[in-house]
Amino acid sequence: MITVLSGGVGAARLLHALSDVIAPSEIAAVVNVGDDVVLHGLTICPDLDTITYTLAGLNNDELGWGLRGETWRVMSELEELGGEAWFRLGDRDLATHLYRSQRLSEGATKTDVAKDLAERLGVAVRLLPVTNDTVTTEFDTTLGRLSFQEYFVRHHHDVTVRAIEFVGADSAHATPEVLDALREASRLVIAPSNPLISIDPILQIPGVREIVAERREDVVAVSPLIRGEALKGPAARLLGELGYDISTVGVVDFYEGLVGTWIIDEADAALAEEIRQRGVHVEVTTTVMAEADNAERLAKAVLS
């Protein structure tokens, strides 16, 4: 059993690659819920959905998010009505949110819903939201306080962040399934997701950081940065804004005390020695998963 701390797109790709190398049922993903949002009355879990869709082979490669074969009738009508349509919800995607929202209103948990959606879509990787309590990522920015989706989608993360807060994290409870998956896995993996807004809100749930730190020697992390840049999203910019070096070294420092082995990209090979001096193992390989060969190589490096 291996357990992967997971955000959205980067984690989804790594999980996909891993499940080509070992049995999917041997993999658990502990998934961030800090960017979950209630919009139009619907409970939306972007990271869980991205992973589910990707592992089901339903991800939309052209858009880079959402479902393939998507249509946009509801959004187009919502715009006609003058409604808020900046958060694009496809018709197919909406079915997921309607399903989840109905189940939650009937007393199911996000854990239950993630399990049932995965089963329905033929996904064997265990998808575990880190908590069933509400944790809300908020940004203190030069435009004022923004919710996650206002920051990320509405403003295209093109605004300076002064601080990030995970409201509710302090009093949230990691689920028993998550605590078991963290304790019982032979290896813990930190996916190449955004450290500050995808992985940190997982680590901030009481108990999680402590287990990861205790198991440090079993923790493998894949750097989300290559030559100081993320493939996607604001990881590099946020590291800089919050006082870290804008490089894989900055990421390593951010996760200080939590990681035994780092997997960094060939393009960052020159940083390996500096990172090793921090008392961790370093493996150098291709971390870009665009091609199947690369993805398999990375998956094998994570598992070796």
Which residues on adjacent β-strands are paired with residue 118?
none
Pick the closer one to a second copy by CB: 5 or 48. 48
Does residue 52 bind a second copy (CB under 8 A)? no
The residue range among 6-14, 70-78, 260-268, 281-289 that interacts with a second copy, by the rule CB under 8 A, is: 70-78
Does residue 182 bind a second copy (CB under 8 A)? no
Pick the closer one to a second copy by CB: 114 or 182. 114
Asked if 260 and 218 count as a contact pair (C-beta separation under 8 A), the reply is yes
Q: Which of residues 23-42 bind a second copy (CB under 8 A)?
A: 38-42
Pick the closer one to a second copy by CB: 13 or 100. 100
Does residue 102 bind a second copy (CB under 8 A)? yes
Does residue 81 bind a second copy (CB under 8 A)? yes
| Min dist. Cβ of residue 231 to a second copy (A) | 29
Per-residue DSSP letters for the chain? -EEEEE-SHHHHHHHHHHTTTS-GGGEEEEE--TT-EEETTEEE-HHHHHHHHHHTT-B-TTTSSSBTT---HHHHHHHHTT---SS---HHHHHHHHHHHHHHHTT--HHHHHHHHHHHTT--SEEEESBSS--EEEEEETTEEEEHHIIIIISTT-S-EEEEEEET-TT--B-HHHHHHHHH-SEEEE-SS-IIIIIHHHHTSTTHHHHHHHTGGGEEEE-SEETTEESSSSHHHHHHHTT--SSHHHHHHHTTTT-SEEEEEGGGGGGHHHHHTTT-EEEEE----SSHHHHHHHHHHHH-
Does residue 122 bind a second copy (CB under 8 A)? no
Does residue 59 bind a second copy (CB under 8 A)? no
Does residue 99 bind a second copy (CB under 8 A)? yes
Report the residue from 20, 63, 73, 257 that binds a second copy according to the rule CB under 8 A: 73
Does residue 96 bind a second copy (CB under 8 A)? yes
Does residue 63 bind a second copy (CB under 8 A)? no
# of chain residues touching a second copy (CB under 8 A): 33
Report the residue from 21, 22, 60, 101 that binds a second copy according to the rule CB under 8 A: 101
Does residue 92 bind a second copy (CB under 8 A)? yes
Residues that bind a second copy (CB under 8 A): 38-43, 71, 73-75, 77-78, 80-84, 91-92, 94-99, 101-102, 104-105, 116-117, 120-121
